[in-house]
């Protein structure tokens, strides 16, 4: 039962830059990409939509909601990771402006956080909190979740045992749609699944699941 559809927002003018909590609108290319997203979702009987509160996600969700004739719920916890002082910069600009931290980030990632940003550990905890809610919601009806690449990658690697390289491939394109079956996460309740995986030892993080890219 494919009851959880993850949707990455479409393109903005900040493509290629660090764009976490920055809040750009969709650009012209992003708005054109929306038709393809709607087409890929058409075969699924989506009954509820949840979206990040950032404009690029909300604008994507609005078009999907209009197609299905339903509303959507805004959830700030679905935001991308916050890149702090690196927001709006390209990697080459980061290397010039913040050379020492940039070098440490390359050498020690994910244990280094941009100044003013969100650590990976903080981000993962936030994703886990949201997933506890989403997995319950998806047991009640098919749902679509409009979010960001980073959020989707953490969900896929943490709860579905997807390798990081594969998670990058699944979410690389703007407007990516990944179809999931929440029944394959664990044979426990969704709330227990989220807490056990997020709080358990490292070996608990590899879970058999199913992820399909549309």
Residue 98 lies in a domain: no
User: Given this model, what pLDDT does residue 149 score?
Assistant: 98
Three-state secondary structure call for residue 98:
coil
Q: What is the dihedral of CA 55, 61, 65, 71, to 10 degrees?
A: -60
Residue 104 lies in a domain: no
**From its phi and psi, is residue 144 left (phi > 0), alpha (psi between -120 and 50) or beta?**
beta
Q: Using CB atoms within 10 A of its CB, is residue 53 exposed (0-12), middle (13-18) or buried (19+)?
A: middle
The answer to whether the peptide bond before residue 16 is cis (omega within 30 degrees of 0) is no
Per-residue pLDDT reduced to its tens digit, 48-95: 999 999 999 999 999 999 999 999 999 999 999 999 999 999 999 999
Residue 101 lies in a domain: no
Q: How many domains does the chain have?
A: 1
Residue 46 lies in a domain: yes
Residue 128 lies in a domain: yes
Give the full edge-to-edge strand order of the sheet including 48-51. 72-74, 48-51, 143-147, 4-8, 177-180, 211-213
Let me know: does 171 contact 33? Beta carbons within 8 Å. no
Closest CA to 89 of 52, 59, 117, 54: 117
Within a 10 A sphere around the Cβ of 121, how many other Cβ atoms?
A: 11
Strands (E), the chain: 4-8, 48-51, 72-74, 143-147, 177-180, 211-213
Distance between CA 11 and CA 23 in Å, rounded?
12
User: Given this model, what pLDDT does residue 109 score?
Assistant: 86
Return the residue matching tokens 């997203």: 37
Distance between CA 8 and CA 33 in Å, rounded?
11
Domain extent, residue 25, equals 4-82+118-213
Q: Is the pLDDT of residue 173 over 70?
A: yes
pTM of the model: 0.88
- CATH code, domain with 63: 3.40.50.1240
User: Given this model, what pLDDT does residue 1 score?
Assistant: 57
| Mean predicted confidence (pLDDT) in 24-51 | 97
Per-residue pLDDT reduced to its tens digit, 115-152: 999 999 999 999 999 999 999 999 989 999 999 999 99
Residue 182 lies in a domain: yes
Query: Between the CA of residue 20 and those of 56, 57, 83, 111, 200, what are the distances in Å?
Result: 11, 12, 6, 18, 27
Backbone angles phi, psi at 73, to 5 degrees: -110, 130
User: Given this model, what pLDDT does residue 97 score?
Assistant: 96
- pLDDT confidence bin for 202, thresholds 50/70/90: very low
What whole-number percentage of the chain has pLDDT above 90? Answer: 81
Per-residue pLDDT reduced to its tens digit, 19-31: 999 999 999 999 9
Residue 108 lies in a domain: no
Which residues are identified as catalytic?
Answer: 9, 80
Residue 58 lies in a domain: yes
Distance between CA 111 and CA 90 in Å, rounded?
20
């Amino acid at each position: 039962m494919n009851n959880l559809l993850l949707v990455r927002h479409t393109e903005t003018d900040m493509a290629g830059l660090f764009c976490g909590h920055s809040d750009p609108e969709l650009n012209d290319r992003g708005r054109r990409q929306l038709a393809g997203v709607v087409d890929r979702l058409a075969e699924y009987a989506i009954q509820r939509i949840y979206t990040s509160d950032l404009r690029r996600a909300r604008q994507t969700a609005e078009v999907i909601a209009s197609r299905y004739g339903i509303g959507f719920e805004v959830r700030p916890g679905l935001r991308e990771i916050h890149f702090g002082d690196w927001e709006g910069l390209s990697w080459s600009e980061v290397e010039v402006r913040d050379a020492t931290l940039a070098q440490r980030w390359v050498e020690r990632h994910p244990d280094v956080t941009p100044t003013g940003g969100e650590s990976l550990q903080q981000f993962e905890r936030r994703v886990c909190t949201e997933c506890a809610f989403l997995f319950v919601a998806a047991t009640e009806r098919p749902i679509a979740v409009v979010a960001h690449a980073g959020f989707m990658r953490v969900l896929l690697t943490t709860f579905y045992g997807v390798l990081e390289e594969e998670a990058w491939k699944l979410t690389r394109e703007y407007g990516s749609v990944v179809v999931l079956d929440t029944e394959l996460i664990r044979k426990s309740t969704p709330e227990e699944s989220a807490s056990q995986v997020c709080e358990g030892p490292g070996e608990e993080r590899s879970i058999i699941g199913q992820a399909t890219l549309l």
